[in-house]
Structure 1
Amino acid sequence: MSVIAVAGATGAQGGATARALLAAGRRVRALTRSPTSSAATALRDLGAEIHRADFEDRTSLAAALTGADALFAVTTPFEADASAEVRQGRNLVDEAVAAGVGHIVFTSAAHADRRTGIPHYDSKFAIECHLRASGVSWTIIAPAAFMDNWSSHWTLEGLREDVFGWPMPPGTPLALIPAEDIGAFAALALTRPAEFTGRRIDIASDVLTPEQIAQTLARATGRPVTHRRTPLAAVRAHSSDLAAMFAYFTSPGLDVDTAALRRAHREVGWHSFADWAAAQDWRTLLA
C-alpha cells in the first residue's frame, strides 16, 4: 500500500487530511514537531505512523519523507513570519522531491495567485511557484476563510457578549470552509492524482454575509448574537497582514463557485456554515 505523508498532521488542515485518509483505509505517515502530543497520540490510535519533522530541520524532513509516495504540504506564517513560511515551504518541497515523493498536494489560500497584496497570501503563492517549478507532480488546493477560527480565540470573547465582531460590512458575502472539508478534498487529490495533477483549485463550502453568519451563530448558540463591524484600524493595530486580508475580503472579495464544487465532488460531503455551527459544543466553548 502506498504511503501518504501528511505535514502539519497535528494542526487543523493536516489533522483533517490525515483523518480523512485513515477513514478511507490509506496508510498515513503523520509528520509533526510534537510526536508525543495528544493530537499525535490520537492519530496513532487511528492507525497513523508518527514521524518527527521540523520544517527548519531538513535532515528530519529527509528522514520523514523517505519512502513516501505522496505528500500533503501545509505551511503557516503565524509562528514566525511570511519569509519563514516561504523558506519552510521550499524546504518541504525540496526534500520531498529529493526523497522521490511522486505527488504533492499543497494547501494555499483562495485567490493567493491574484496579487492580493496580503503578505501571508503572497508567501503561499511564492511556495506555489516553487512547487510548480520543482518538476514533481502537483496539485494546489486553496481554501477560503476558515469556519473553525470562529470557535476559538477572540471570536469567542465577543460571542460571550452576544456580539459577532467582524471587520466587514454586514451585507458583504464571504466564502467559507471548515477544516473537515479541506481534509476531505485534499484526500481526493492525494488518492486520485491523475484527476487532479496540474490543477489549482479554490475551494469553499458556503458563502454568507457577516449578518447571516451572526444569525446562524444565534440559532446555534441560543444567544441573541448580532454582527458588529470591527474597525479595520483596530485590526491593523494588531496585524497589518490581517488588516490587508479583511480589506481584500471586503473588496474585491473571494469569489468561489461553491455550487460547481458540490456538483463535481459530492463525495467531499460539503458542510454549510449552519452544519458546522450546529456541530460545535457552544455550551463548553462559551463557558
Structure 2
Amino acid sequence: METIRHRLGSLSANLEQLTASYNRSPMEVDAGNRRPKTEHRRFRDRSSVEYSPTHDNLINRKNHTMSNTDNKKIILVLGATGKQGGQVISELLAQDARADLVIRALSRNPESAAARSLAARGVQIYKGDLDEEEGLARALAGVDTAFLVTLPDMKDHQREATRGIRFVDEAKKANVSHLIFTSVEDADKNTGVPHFDTKWTIEQHIREVDIPWTILRPVAFMDNFTANPSKANFVGFGVFATLLIGHSLHWVHTRDIGRAAVRAINNPIEYRDKIIPLSGDVQTLNGVLDAYEKVHGKRPWKAYVPRWAANQLPKDFTKMFQYFRKEGFSTDVAACRKADPEMYTVEKWLAENKNLSTLKCCEALRTTVVYDKSSVEEQRRTTELLKEINYEVLNLANAPRMGHVADTQRNLTMRQLPQDIVNQLEGQGFTVKSCEKSGSTSTSSTATLTCHHNGEPLKFFVKIGEEETMHAEFESLMAIDAASPGFCPKPILLSECEDTSEFAKKLAKVHSDTNRDGLFGFSCPTFCGSTRQENTQTSSWKDFFIEMRLKPLLTQLPQLSSTSKVFLKDIVPRLLDSLRGTSFPIQPRLVHGDLWSGNASGDRIFDPCCLYAHSEYELGMMRMFGGWHSERFWSAYHEEIPKDEPTEEFDDRISMYTLYHQLNHAVMFGGGN
C-alpha cells in the first residue's frame, strides 16, 4: 500500500528555501560504507593543529597563474543570490579600501534581476551552474579563493554530493589557492541524517584532493523565520513546536556565516585546514517566542500542526528533527562567541531586523493542507471499520468497554497509591487506613482514602492524572470554595507524583532488546489471563499476529464471523503491510505482553507473558486499561522508541492491537462458546 502522503501546502511551497536554510541536502548513504568514528577524530584533530605555511606556499601554488593583470585577488562566490553566498558578497563589498579584490558570482541566468543587481554593485557575473564543467572552468579561471555552498535536490538525493565534488575537482584543476566550504555542524558524527551525510561526503573529497581548505559548520538559521510575525512564522512555529517537543536548538544568523567566510578570505594562512563551528545562540522554541514577545511587545501565534502532518515533510527533514530531539548539536556557543563577540543572538537578530518587510518569506505560504485524497479516504475507511469492529466486540456479553473500565480496573489500590500523598497526609497528623475504588474518568485514576485523625475517621478523595490537568482542577476547586464555601469538595493538597519518565525509559529499554534470530514469537507458550497463547516463531510479524493471536480467539467468537473476515483480510494486512520501522524492517522486540496498570507498581512490572513482537503491540494493552496518562511518560518513551512509519496510522495500529485484548476478554468473560 502506498504510504499516505499528506503535506502542508504552506510548507511545500517554500520547502526548498526552508530546507536549504539548514544548509543540508538529502542523499542516500550506503549503511555499509558509513564512516568510522576514528576517522572523524583524525580529521578533527588535523583541523585543530596549528599549521603555518608560508604565504607563498599558500597563494602561489605550483602552476598557479593569475589571469588578472593587476594582480588583484579574485574571489568566486557560489549561491550569490541566496542567504549564505549573498551575505558573503555583502560583507566583501562592505570592506573599506579593498580595491585589491575582484568578486565573481556564478549564475544560471546572468540576465535575471538578482544577477543584474549584483552586477550593478560591481560583481562580475559568470554564466554557469554546478551541473556543467565548462561553465565552472570559465568562472574558476584565475580564482584565488572560492566559496562553495551546495543546495538540496529533493528529487535526487545524491545530486548535491555529485555537484559539490564536481566543483572541488574543477577548483583543483584551476589551481584555486583556498576553498571555503559551508557544511553543517556535526556532519562527522554518524547522525543518520542524510542532509548531514551529504555534506560529510563533500568534506572528505575536499581533503582527498589536497586543496587548502576552510570548512564552516553552521547550525540552524535564525533566518528560517521572518523577523516579524507573519504567516510564515505562524506555520513554521507550529512545525517546530511539533517536531522539537520542547528541545533546545542552536541558532546562527547567516550574516555571521558571511563574516566568518570573509575572515577566512582575508586570513588564509590562519584559517588553512580549519573547521569553524558557528552557533550564536541556543534556545527552545519557547525561548524564540519569548524573544519575539520582548521585541514586538506581544507573543506571536503559532499554528497547531499535528504530528502526522509535520511528518509529511521530506524524510530527511524529519530525520534531522529526530536527531535534534535525541542528540542535538554539540556546538560550544561560548567558544564561538569568544572567536566572534559580535555574533547574533536570536533577540539581537529580531531587534535589528524589526522593521524589515515580512513579505520575503510568506508570499507563497498558505495554511492549507494538501493531501492525496484517495489515500486519506482509504485511511478513513480503515479507521471507521476499526470503530465498528470495536463496537461490535465491546457489545459481547460482559466484554469490558475501552475507556470505561475504570470502575473495575482503573481505581487505585494501596500498593499503587503514590507514597508522596501518604507522607504528606501523615505529616499533617492523618493515618491512612485503607484505599478503595471511587468512580473513574477516562483520563485519571481515582480512590477514596479512609484516614484517622485524633481518633476520628475521615475520608479523602484522591485523583491522579496529568500534571497540568490536575493543577487546573485544583485551582478551579479553590476558586469555587473561596466564592461559596462548602459548595464543592475543598482541595487539601496538590502533590507531584513520581516522575514516570524513568518508568518509560525502563520500558523502552525492554523494547530495545531484539531477537537476534530475527523471529517473532517466544521460546514457549504463554498465558494472558487464562488464555493459552502459542508462540511458534516466524519471520513475519503479520503472519504471527494473525495466526498466533487473532485467529485462535476469533474462532471462539462465531458472532464475529463476518466481521473477522474484514478484519483479517483487509484491516490487518493494510496496516501491517505498510509498516516501516526506524530501523527498517520492523524488528522483533521483547514486550511484556499483558502490561496494564494492575501489572505494574511504582517502577516495577510483573505477571508478564512475554514475546518478541512489534513494540507497538505492547501499547494496545497499556492504552486499553490505562495507568499511563502523562504526556511526560509518552514523550520520554517515544524519545527512545519513536512511532513507526507511517506515523499517521499509529492510532489505528494501537486500536488494532487493543482489539486483540478486547477479543481475549470477550472469550474469557463472556461472548465466547
Q: Do these two structures clear the TM 0.5 threshold for a shared fold by scoring above it?
A: yes
Partners of 1:209 and 1:253 lie apart in 2 by: 12
Q: Any conservation in 1 of the 2:225–2:236 contact (CA below 8 Å)? A: no
Residue aligning to 1:272:
345
Match status 1:168 vs 2:241: no
Residue aligning to 1:11:
82
Match status 1:35 vs 2:110: yes
Deviation at 1:206, TM superposition (A): 1.1
Comparing 72-81 with 208-217, greater Cα deviation is found at 72-81
1:124 alignment partner, SS class: helix
Match status 1:238 vs 2:313: yes
- Of 220, 231, 247 in structure 2, the residue corresponding to residue 157 of structure 1 is 231
Partners of 1:202 and 1:229 lie apart in 2 by: 33
Residue aligning to 1:258:
333
Give matches, 1:1-287, under 5 Å. Answer: 1-24=72-95, 25=98, 26-78=101-153, 80-151=155-226, 156-157=230-231, 159-160=233-234, 164-166=238-240, 167-170=243-246, 172-225=247-300, 230=305, 232-266=307-341, 269-278=342-351, 279-281=353-355, 284-285=358-359
Partners of 1:177 and 1:99 lie apart in 2 by: 32
Deviation at 1:50, TM superposition (A): 1.2
Q: Which amino acid aligns with 1:135?
A: D
1:127 alignment partner, SS class: helix
Partners of 2:134 and 2:154 lie apart in 1 by: 21
Q: What per-residue deviation string (whole Å, max 9, x for no partner) do you get for residues 125-163 of structure 1?
A: 1000011111110111111001111129xx943645896
Q: Which amino acid aligns with 2:344?
A: H
Q: What per-residue deviation string (whole Å, max 9, x for no partner) do you get for residues 65-90 of structure 1?
A: 11110100010114643300000001
Deviation at 1:217, TM superposition (A): 2.2
Deviation at 1:23, TM superposition (A): 1.6
Partners of 2:109 and 2:83 lie apart in 1 by: 14
1:120 alignment partner, SS class: helix
Partners of 2:323 and 2:130 lie apart in 1 by: 29
Q: Any conservation in 2 of the 1:3–1:69 contact (CA below 8 Å)? A: yes
Partners of 1:251 and 1:193 lie apart in 2 by: 37
Partners of 2:235 and 2:209 lie apart in 1 by: 49
Residue aligning to 2:65:
none
Higher relative contact order by CA 8 Å / sep ≥ 6: 1 or 2? 1
Structure showing greater radius of gyration is 2
2:269 alignment partner, SS class: helix
Deviation at 1:2, TM superposition (A): 0.6
Partners of 2:115 and 2:154 lie apart in 1 by: 19
- Summarize the Cα distance change of 1:43–1:27 in structure 2 as closer, same or farther, 3 Å threshold: same
Structure 2: gaps (5+ residues): 1-71, 364-673
Q: What per-residue deviation string (whole Å, max 9, x for no partner) do you get for residues 198-249 of structure 1?
A: 1122211111111101111233444432667855543332211100111111
* Aligned residues between the structures: 282
Deviation at 1:188, TM superposition (A): 0.9
Deviation at 1:120, TM superposition (A): 1.2
Q: Note the aligned Cα RMSD (angstroms).
A: 2.4
Q: Any conservation in 1 of the 2:79–2:149 contact (CA below 8 Å)? A: yes
Partners of 2:173 and 2:211 lie apart in 1 by: 10
- Summarize the Cα distance change of 1:281–1:89 in structure 2 as closer, same or farther, 3 Å threshold: same
1:135 alignment partner, SS class: coil
1:194 alignment partner, SS class: coil
Partners of 1:183 and 1:265 lie apart in 2 by: 12
- Summarize the Cα distance change of 1:83–1:20 in structure 2 as closer, same or farther, 3 Å threshold: same
Partners of 1:144 and 1:228 lie apart in 2 by: 24
- Summarize the Cα distance change of 1:78–1:148 in structure 2 as closer, same or farther, 3 Å threshold: farther
Q: Any conservation in 2 of the 1:22–1:48 contact (CA below 8 Å)? A: no
Q: What per-residue deviation string (whole Å, max 9, x for no partner) do you get for residues 254-282 of structure 1?
A: 1211221222234xx31111121221446
Partners of 1:281 and 1:127 lie apart in 2 by: 38
Partners of 1:229 and 1:249 lie apart in 2 by: 20
Comparing 257-266 with 90-99, greater Cα deviation is found at 257-266
Structure 1: gaps (5+ residues): none
Q: Any conservation in 2 of the 1:174–1:253 contact (CA below 8 Å)? A: yes
Q: Which amino acid aligns with 1:271?
A: Y
Partners of 1:125 and 1:74 lie apart in 2 by: 13
Q: Any conservation in 2 of the 1:73–1:105 contact (CA below 8 Å)? A: yes
Partners of 1:190 and 1:162 lie apart in 2 by: 34
- Summarize the Cα distance change of 1:163–1:186 in structure 2 as closer, same or farther, 3 Å threshold: closer
- Summarize the Cα distance change of 1:39–1:4 in structure 2 as closer, same or farther, 3 Å threshold: same
Q: Any conservation in 2 of the 1:62–1:99 contact (CA below 8 Å)? A: yes
- Summarize the Cα distance change of 1:230–1:249 in structure 2 as closer, same or farther, 3 Å threshold: farther
Partners of 2:217 and 2:284 lie apart in 1 by: 20
Comparing 39-48 with 54-63, greater Cα deviation is found at 39-48
2:250 alignment partner, SS class: strand
